[in-house]
Structure 1
Protein backbone atom coordinates (compact mmCIF):
# COMPACT_ATOMS: atom_id res chain seq x y z
CA UNK A 1 0.00 0.00 0.00
CA UNK A 2 1.38 3.38 -1.00
CA UNK A 3 1.59 5.92 1.80
CA UNK A 4 3.32 8.76 -0.04
CA UNK A 5 0.54 11.29 -0.66
CA UNK A 6 2.60 12.99 -3.33
CA UNK A 7 2.55 9.85 -5.47
CA UNK A 8 -1.23 9.38 -5.40
CA UNK A 9 -2.52 10.45 -8.82
CA UNK A 10 -6.05 11.35 -7.75
CA UNK A 11 -6.80 14.22 -5.35
CA UNK A 12 -9.76 16.35 -4.39
CA UNK A 13 -10.05 19.00 -1.66
CA UNK A 14 -13.31 20.16 -0.10
CA UNK A 15 -13.69 22.92 2.52
CA UNK A 16 -17.04 23.47 4.20
CA UNK A 17 -18.51 25.36 7.14
CA UNK A 18 -18.14 23.32 10.33
CA UNK A 19 -21.84 22.56 10.66
CA UNK A 20 -23.95 19.37 10.59
CA UNK A 21 -24.73 19.56 6.86
CA UNK A 22 -20.99 19.09 6.18
CA UNK A 23 -21.25 15.40 7.08
CA UNK A 24 -23.67 14.62 4.26
CA UNK A 25 -21.78 16.76 1.75
CA UNK A 26 -18.47 15.04 2.59
CA UNK A 27 -20.02 11.58 2.08
CA UNK A 28 -21.72 12.56 -1.18
CA UNK A 29 -18.52 14.14 -2.48
CA UNK A 30 -16.57 11.00 -1.56
CA UNK A 31 -18.99 8.85 -3.53
CA UNK A 32 -18.72 11.15 -6.55
CA UNK A 33 -14.93 11.31 -6.61
CA UNK A 34 -14.55 7.57 -6.05
CA UNK A 35 -16.77 6.84 -9.05
CA UNK A 36 -14.87 9.42 -11.13
CA UNK A 37 -11.62 7.71 -10.13
CA UNK A 38 -12.93 4.28 -11.13
CA UNK A 39 -13.30 2.93 -7.61
CA UNK A 40 -16.61 1.11 -7.47
CA UNK A 41 -18.95 1.96 -4.62
CA UNK A 42 -19.19 -1.77 -3.89
CA UNK A 43 -15.46 -2.09 -3.24
CA UNK A 44 -14.94 -3.55 0.23
CA UNK A 45 -13.10 -0.42 1.46
CA UNK A 46 -15.74 2.11 0.38
CA UNK A 47 -18.47 1.63 3.01
CA UNK A 48 -15.96 1.67 5.88
CA UNK A 49 -14.25 4.72 4.34
CA UNK A 50 -17.56 6.58 4.15
CA UNK A 51 -18.34 5.71 7.77
CA UNK A 52 -14.87 6.82 8.88
CA UNK A 53 -15.19 10.11 7.01
CA UNK A 54 -18.62 10.75 8.50
CA UNK A 55 -17.35 10.07 12.01
CA UNK A 56 -14.30 12.31 11.67
CA UNK A 57 -16.30 15.19 10.21
CA UNK A 58 -18.98 14.73 12.88
CA UNK A 59 -16.24 15.01 15.52
CA UNK A 60 -15.06 18.28 13.97
CA UNK A 61 -18.62 19.62 13.89
CA UNK A 62 -19.30 18.60 17.51
CA UNK A 63 -15.99 19.49 19.10
CA UNK A 64 -14.13 22.00 16.92
CA UNK A 65 -16.76 24.34 15.45
CA UNK A 66 -16.30 27.00 18.15
CA UNK A 67 -12.64 27.48 17.14
CA UNK A 68 -12.75 26.23 13.56
CA UNK A 69 -15.33 27.83 11.26
CA UNK A 70 -14.42 25.40 8.47
CA UNK A 71 -13.49 21.77 8.08
CA UNK A 72 -11.39 20.59 5.14
CA UNK A 73 -11.35 17.09 3.68
CA UNK A 74 -8.60 15.90 1.35
CA UNK A 75 -9.47 12.85 -0.72
CA UNK A 76 -6.72 10.94 -2.55
CA UNK A 77 -6.31 7.59 -4.26
CA UNK A 78 -3.91 5.51 -6.28
CA UNK A 79 -3.93 2.02 -7.75
CA UNK A 80 -3.59 0.33 -4.37
CA UNK A 81 -4.54 3.00 -1.82
CA UNK A 82 -7.43 5.18 -0.74
CA UNK A 83 -6.42 8.05 1.52
CA UNK A 84 -8.10 11.02 3.10
CA UNK A 85 -7.58 13.63 5.77
CA UNK A 86 -10.00 15.66 7.87
CA UNK A 87 -8.62 18.99 9.08
CA UNK A 88 -9.95 21.55 11.54
CA UNK A 89 -8.43 24.46 13.45
CA UNK A 90 -9.08 23.19 16.97
CA UNK A 91 -5.79 22.50 18.80
CA UNK A 92 -6.97 19.39 20.70
CA UNK A 93 -5.42 16.20 19.31
CA UNK A 94 -7.45 13.14 20.26
CA UNK A 95 -5.80 9.95 21.39
CA UNK A 96 -6.51 7.26 18.85
CA UNK A 97 -6.11 4.38 21.25
CA UNK A 98 -7.54 5.51 24.59
CA UNK A 99 -10.54 7.86 24.70
CA UNK A 100 -10.47 10.53 27.41
CA UNK A 101 -12.43 9.64 30.55
CA UNK A 102 -16.05 10.71 30.39
CA UNK A 103 -16.12 11.37 26.64
CA UNK A 104 -17.47 8.05 25.48
CA UNK A 105 -14.83 7.94 22.74
CA UNK A 106 -16.96 5.48 20.77
CA UNK A 107 -16.54 7.24 17.45
CA UNK A 108 -12.77 7.15 17.34
CA UNK A 109 -12.84 3.60 18.63
CA UNK A 110 -15.01 2.67 15.67
CA UNK A 111 -12.65 4.52 13.32
CA UNK A 112 -9.67 2.61 14.69
CA UNK A 113 -11.44 -0.76 14.45
CA UNK A 114 -12.43 -0.15 10.84
CA UNK A 115 -9.04 1.17 9.75
CA UNK A 116 -7.00 -1.52 11.46
CA UNK A 117 -9.45 -4.24 10.35
CA UNK A 118 -8.79 -3.23 6.75
CA UNK A 119 -5.02 -3.06 7.25
CA UNK A 120 -4.93 0.74 7.02
CA UNK A 121 -3.22 3.47 9.00
CA UNK A 122 -4.33 6.45 11.09
CA UNK A 123 -2.16 9.43 12.02
CA UNK A 124 -3.03 12.67 13.81
CA UNK A 125 -0.81 15.56 12.75
CA UNK A 126 -0.73 18.98 14.38
CA UNK A 127 -0.59 22.10 12.23
CA UNK A 128 2.75 23.89 12.26
CA UNK A 129 1.32 26.51 14.65
CA UNK A 130 -0.25 23.82 16.90
CA UNK A 131 -3.64 25.50 16.53
CA UNK A 132 -5.22 22.81 14.41
CA UNK A 133 -4.81 19.21 13.34
CA UNK A 134 -5.49 16.70 10.60
CA UNK A 135 -6.49 13.08 10.99
CA UNK A 136 -4.96 11.15 8.07
CA UNK A 137 -6.34 7.77 7.01
CA UNK A 138 -4.98 5.31 4.44
CA UNK A 139 -6.80 2.17 3.37
CA UNK A 140 -5.57 -0.50 0.97
CA UNK A 141 -7.57 -1.11 -2.20
Structure 2
Protein backbone atom coordinates (compact mmCIF):
# COMPACT_ATOMS: atom_id res chain seq x y z
CA UNK A 1 0.00 0.00 0.00
CA UNK A 2 1.05 3.57 -0.48
CA UNK A 3 2.05 5.79 2.43
CA UNK A 4 -1.35 7.51 2.23
CA UNK A 5 -3.18 4.20 2.59
CA UNK A 6 -0.80 2.98 5.30
CA UNK A 7 -1.84 5.97 7.41
CA UNK A 8 -5.54 5.02 7.42
CA UNK A 9 -6.28 3.67 10.91
CA UNK A 10 -9.46 1.65 10.23
CA UNK A 11 -9.06 -1.75 8.55
CA UNK A 12 -11.19 -4.74 7.63
CA UNK A 13 -10.43 -7.73 5.38
CA UNK A 14 -12.96 -10.12 3.84
CA UNK A 15 -12.03 -13.24 1.86
CA UNK A 16 -14.68 -15.24 0.03
CA UNK A 17 -14.92 -18.02 -2.55
CA UNK A 18 -14.95 -16.54 -6.07
CA UNK A 19 -18.60 -17.30 -6.77
CA UNK A 20 -21.68 -15.23 -7.57
CA UNK A 21 -22.82 -14.93 -3.95
CA UNK A 22 -19.61 -13.04 -3.18
CA UNK A 23 -21.07 -9.86 -4.70
CA UNK A 24 -24.04 -9.81 -2.30
CA UNK A 25 -21.89 -10.66 0.70
CA UNK A 26 -19.38 -7.92 -0.16
CA UNK A 27 -22.17 -5.34 -0.48
CA UNK A 28 -23.68 -6.36 2.86
CA UNK A 29 -20.28 -6.43 4.57
CA UNK A 30 -19.37 -3.02 3.16
CA UNK A 31 -22.56 -1.48 4.54
CA UNK A 32 -21.89 -3.06 7.93
CA UNK A 33 -18.23 -1.99 8.03
CA UNK A 34 -19.08 1.58 7.05
CA UNK A 35 -21.80 1.75 9.71
CA UNK A 36 -19.35 0.45 12.34
CA UNK A 37 -16.92 3.17 11.27
CA UNK A 38 -19.61 5.85 11.67
CA UNK A 39 -20.27 6.41 7.96
CA UNK A 40 -24.02 6.62 7.44
CA UNK A 41 -25.70 4.58 4.73
CA UNK A 42 -27.07 7.92 3.52
CA UNK A 43 -23.60 9.39 2.95
CA UNK A 44 -23.37 10.31 -0.77
CA UNK A 45 -20.30 8.08 -1.16
CA UNK A 46 -21.96 4.83 -0.05
CA UNK A 47 -24.11 3.95 -3.08
CA UNK A 48 -21.36 4.66 -5.64
CA UNK A 49 -18.82 2.74 -3.51
CA UNK A 50 -21.18 -0.24 -3.37
CA UNK A 51 -21.59 -0.15 -7.15
CA UNK A 52 -17.82 0.09 -7.69
CA UNK A 53 -17.21 -2.84 -5.35
CA UNK A 54 -19.96 -4.87 -7.02
CA UNK A 55 -18.39 -4.34 -10.45
CA UNK A 56 -14.88 -5.20 -9.27
CA UNK A 57 -15.97 -8.34 -7.41
CA UNK A 58 -18.14 -9.41 -10.36
CA UNK A 59 -15.11 -9.05 -12.66
CA UNK A 60 -12.98 -11.16 -10.32
CA UNK A 61 -15.65 -13.86 -10.14
CA UNK A 62 -16.21 -13.87 -13.92
CA UNK A 63 -12.66 -13.54 -15.17
CA UNK A 64 -10.30 -14.74 -12.44
CA UNK A 65 -12.07 -17.63 -10.69
CA UNK A 66 -10.27 -20.22 -12.81
CA UNK A 67 -6.92 -19.18 -11.37
CA UNK A 68 -8.15 -17.57 -8.17
CA UNK A 69 -10.57 -19.62 -6.08
CA UNK A 70 -10.93 -16.71 -3.64
CA UNK A 71 -11.50 -12.99 -3.86
CA UNK A 72 -10.39 -10.69 -1.06
CA UNK A 73 -11.72 -7.22 -0.28
CA UNK A 74 -9.58 -4.94 1.87
CA UNK A 75 -11.18 -1.88 3.43
CA UNK A 76 -9.36 1.09 4.99
CA UNK A 77 -10.62 4.45 6.20
CA UNK A 78 -9.62 7.59 8.01
CA UNK A 79 -11.31 10.86 8.83
CA UNK A 80 -11.47 12.02 5.22
CA UNK A 81 -10.76 8.91 3.11
CA UNK A 82 -12.39 5.57 2.32
CA UNK A 83 -10.23 3.12 0.39
CA UNK A 84 -10.85 -0.44 -0.69
CA UNK A 85 -9.22 -3.06 -2.85
CA UNK A 86 -10.43 -6.15 -4.62
CA UNK A 87 -7.70 -8.77 -4.86
CA UNK A 88 -7.53 -11.96 -6.90
CA UNK A 89 -4.75 -14.29 -8.00
CA UNK A 90 -5.18 -13.85 -11.74
CA UNK A 91 -2.16 -12.15 -13.36
CA UNK A 92 -4.08 -10.06 -15.93
CA UNK A 93 -4.05 -6.35 -15.09
CA UNK A 94 -6.74 -4.48 -17.03
CA UNK A 95 -5.95 -1.02 -18.33
CA UNK A 96 -8.17 1.07 -16.06
CA UNK A 97 -7.82 4.38 -17.83
CA UNK A 98 -8.41 3.00 -21.32
CA UNK A 99 -11.96 2.27 -20.14
CA UNK A 100 -12.48 6.01 -19.67
CA UNK A 101 -11.09 6.91 -23.10
CA UNK A 102 -13.02 4.13 -24.80
CA UNK A 103 -9.93 2.32 -26.07
CA UNK A 104 -10.18 -0.76 -23.85
CA UNK A 105 -12.48 -3.61 -22.91
CA UNK A 106 -14.81 -2.11 -20.33
CA UNK A 107 -16.33 -5.20 -18.60
CA UNK A 108 -17.72 -2.88 -15.94
CA UNK A 109 -14.45 -1.01 -15.50
CA UNK A 110 -15.76 1.98 -17.45
CA UNK A 111 -18.45 2.40 -14.81
CA UNK A 112 -15.89 1.92 -12.04
CA UNK A 113 -13.61 4.59 -13.45
CA UNK A 114 -16.41 7.03 -14.25
CA UNK A 115 -17.77 6.80 -10.70
CA UNK A 116 -14.33 6.91 -9.08
CA UNK A 117 -13.13 9.94 -11.01
CA UNK A 118 -16.51 11.65 -10.68
CA UNK A 119 -16.21 11.39 -6.89
CA UNK A 120 -12.71 12.87 -6.97
CA UNK A 121 -11.15 9.49 -6.23
CA UNK A 122 -8.23 7.53 -7.57
CA UNK A 123 -7.75 4.02 -8.90
CA UNK A 124 -4.59 1.98 -9.21
CA UNK A 125 -3.69 -1.63 -9.87
CA UNK A 126 -0.97 -3.15 -7.71
CA UNK A 127 0.51 -6.46 -8.77
CA UNK A 128 1.45 -9.15 -6.29
CA UNK A 129 5.18 -9.56 -5.72
CA UNK A 130 5.15 -12.93 -7.50
CA UNK A 131 3.35 -11.50 -10.55
CA UNK A 132 0.49 -13.98 -10.22
CA UNK A 133 -2.21 -11.70 -8.83
CA UNK A 134 -3.28 -8.11 -8.37
CA UNK A 135 -5.32 -5.71 -6.30
CA UNK A 136 -7.39 -2.89 -7.74
CA UNK A 137 -7.33 -0.10 -5.16
CA UNK A 138 -9.96 2.64 -5.12
CA UNK A 139 -9.52 5.66 -2.85
CA UNK A 140 -12.45 8.03 -2.34
CA UNK A 141 -12.69 11.26 -0.34
CA UNK A 142 -15.31 11.32 2.42
The equivalent residue for 1:122 is: 123
Q: Displacement, 1:98? A: 1.9
Corresponding residue SS for 1:47: helix
CA, structure 1 residues 86+43, in 2 after alignment: closer, same or farther (shift >3 Å)? same
Q: CA deviation at 1:4?
A: 1.4
Distance in structure 2 (CA, Å) of the matches to 1:73 and 1:10 = 14
Contact map agreement 2:116 2:140 (CA 8 A) in 1: yes
Aligned counterparts of 1:113 and 1:91: Cα–Cα separation in 2: 24
Deviation at 1:6, TM superposition (A): 1.8
Contact 2:125/2:135, CA 8 A, preserved across alignment:
yes
Match of 2:87 in 1: 87
Task: For 1:134 and 1:57, locate their aligned partners in 2 and report how far apart those are by CA, in whole Å.
Answer: 11
TM-score, length of structure 1 as denominator length:
0.93
Q: Which residue of 2 aligns with 1:138?
A: 139
CA distance in 1, matches of 2:61, 2:135: 14
Structure 2: state its 5+ residue gaps: none
Using the TM superposition, give the Cα deviation of residue 104 of structure 1 relative to its aligned residue in structure 2, in angstroms. Answer: 4.9
The Cα RMSD (Å) is 1.7
Aligned residue runs from structure 1 range 29-48, under 5 A: 29-48=29-48
Runs of 4 or more, structure 1, over 3 Å off, are none
How far apart are the structure 2 equivalents of 1:6 and 1:111?
23
Aligned pair count reads 138
What's the counterpart of residue 19 of structure 1?
Answer: 19
Residue ranges of structure 1 left out of the alignment (5+ in a row): none
